[in-house]
Amino acid sequence: MRNFTSVHDLGNLQEALKEALEVKANKFGYQHLGKNKTLLMIFFNSSLRTRLSTQKAAMNLGMNVMVLDVNQGAWKLETERGVIMDGDKPEHLLEAIPVMGCYCDIIGVRAFAQFENKADDYSEKIINQFIQYSGRPVFSMEAATGHPLQAFADMITIEEHKKKKRPKVVLTWAPHPRALPQAVPNSFAQWAVAAGYEVVITHPEGYELDEQFTNGATIEYDQAKAFEGADFIYAKNWAAFADPNYGKILSTDRSWTVDEAKMGLTDQAFFMHCLPVRRNMIVTDDVIESEQSLVIPEAANREISAEVVLKRLLEGLEG
Ligand code: AN0
Ligand code: CP
């Protein structure tokens, strides 16, 4: 594998999920691949899980790891070409990227949607410049439109807990005080359809996601109806995608918060969320603390999804 930004880069998803279970059973079995190889992780945005799990995965593989927080300690980066750089940004991304490529073998990038220009976000302008100019394999640690390492970990978690061959998996919007990207729900929907599950997405009107990610899923505006018979409830907030409201908050209606009463409509569903989560906005204390909550196993599987991706990128270097 040369780069990892989407489910399509993995090839056959069933095989990748099988490989994930093998890696989970033998985390330190591939250290020959990472010896004397350096991972550089670049963060334009905050992170707890991605930072720690990806570093841990790289260490499992015997790699050296460097982390750069672009907004803390590095020069502020201009990202637009043609700008007269007389403002507060002393360096341009177009020099910074190839320089970063000089010091490492693989680059991970976290760069959220900026909600300033939909075309820039949905063309994945930032991570694609890393792919184009770094000379190194690049993987997404949540880019503008997707969070594939999270979705991969979520699919591993569903495979480990499902009781039916084809479970009903419901992605539900829930309220949040700030505008959040569509990356996590886009990837979750796309990967859950690719995994062959029955996928239902529920949200207030106006929160429709980009169909390139939700194709194959059913949209149900009635949250209670969507929850009926569900095996997994995956909660997430996102800001509007559709024009003219791109990046805007249309509702903070707390009747969409996932609570015990709604979980009671499901077929004893498991509760999932990528974290970080705002309690009693997205989900009540009792649901997230219940035995059906998978939020910690999901986070644990981030180490595994990252290890499979790094392993495949390292194998790609050898080819
Ligand atoms: C981010 C988001 O919603 O995309 C990261 C989630 C993994 N969440 C926040 O910014 C709170
Ligand atoms: N789920 C996730 O990616 O968390 P972080 O933002 O803490 O990395």
Locate 182 and state its tokens: 């569509």
| 167 and 293 both lie in a single domain | yes
Q: Inform me whether the pLDDT recorded for 319 exceeds 70.
A: no
| 208 and 128 both lie in a single domain | no
Does residue 38 sit within a domain?
Answer: yes
- In tens, the pLDDT along 245-266 reads 999 999 999 999 999 999 999 9
**DSSP per position, 157-194:** HHHHH-SSSS-EEEEEE---SS---SHHHHHHHHHHHH
| 290 and 268 both lie in a single domain | yes
Please choose from 47, 109, 295 the residue to mutate so as to test ligand 2's pocket, defined by most ligand atoms within 8 A of CB.
47
Domain containing residue 90? 7-146+302-318
Q: Which atom of ligand 1 is nearest to the CA of 112?
A: 4
Query: What average pLDDT does this structure show over 276-294?
Result: 98
Tokens 């709604």 correspond to 262
User: Distance (Å, rounded) from C-alpha 188 to C-alpha 192?
Assistant: 6
| 123 and 183 both lie in a single domain | no
Is any ligand 2 atom within 6 A of the Cβ of residue 45?
A: no
- Pick the closest to residue 53 from 283, 282, 275, 314 (CA basis): 275
Number of domains present in the structure of the chain: 2
What are φ and ψ of residue 52, in 5° steps?
-75, -45
| 78 and 116 both lie in a single domain | yes
Is any ligand 2 atom within 6 A of the Cβ of residue 60?
A: no
| 92 and 124 both lie in a single domain | yes
Instruction: Report which protein residue has its CA nearest ligand 1's atom 11.
Output: 276
Residue type present at position 272: M
Contact, 141 vs 50, CB < 8 A?
yes
- Pick the closest to residue 313 from 26, 7, 37 (CA basis): 37
Average pLDDT of the residues of the chain: 97
User: Distance (Å, rounded) from C-alpha 100 to C-alpha 161?
Assistant: 40
Confidence of residue 73 (pLDDT cuts 50, 70, 90): confident
Does residue 2 sit within a domain?
Answer: no
Contact, 76 vs 90, CB < 8 A?
yes
- Pick the closest to residue 293 from 238, 224, 234 (CA basis): 234
Is any ligand 2 atom within 6 A of the Cβ of residue 275?
A: yes
| 311 and 290 both lie in a single domain | no
Give me the long-range contacts of 83-90 (CB less than 8 A, separation at least 24): none
Is any ligand 2 atom within 6 A of the Cβ of residue 292?
A: no
| 104 and 171 both lie in a single domain | no
Does residue 99 sit within a domain?
Answer: yes
Please choose from 152, 234, 275 the residue to mutate so as to test ligand 2's pocket, defined by most ligand atoms within 8 A of CB.
275
| 142 and 172 both lie in a single domain | no
Confidence of residue 318 (pLDDT cuts 50, 70, 90): confident
Contact, 259 vs 290, CB < 8 A?
no
Whether the bond between 177 and the residue before it is cis, its omega within 30 degrees of 0, is no
Give me the long-range contacts of 268-272 (CB less than 8 A, separation at least 24): 268/292, 269/170, 269/227, 269/230, 269/231, 269/232, 269/233, 270/161, 270/231, 270/232, 270/233, 270/294, 271/233, 271/235, 271/295, 272/154, 272/157, 272/158, 272/232, 272/233, 272/234, 272/235, 272/298
The enclosing domain of 200 has a CATH number of 3.40.50.1370
Does residue 257 sit within a domain?
Answer: yes
pLDDT above 70 as % of the chain: 100
- In tens, the pLDDT along 40-60 reads 999 999 999 999 999 999 999
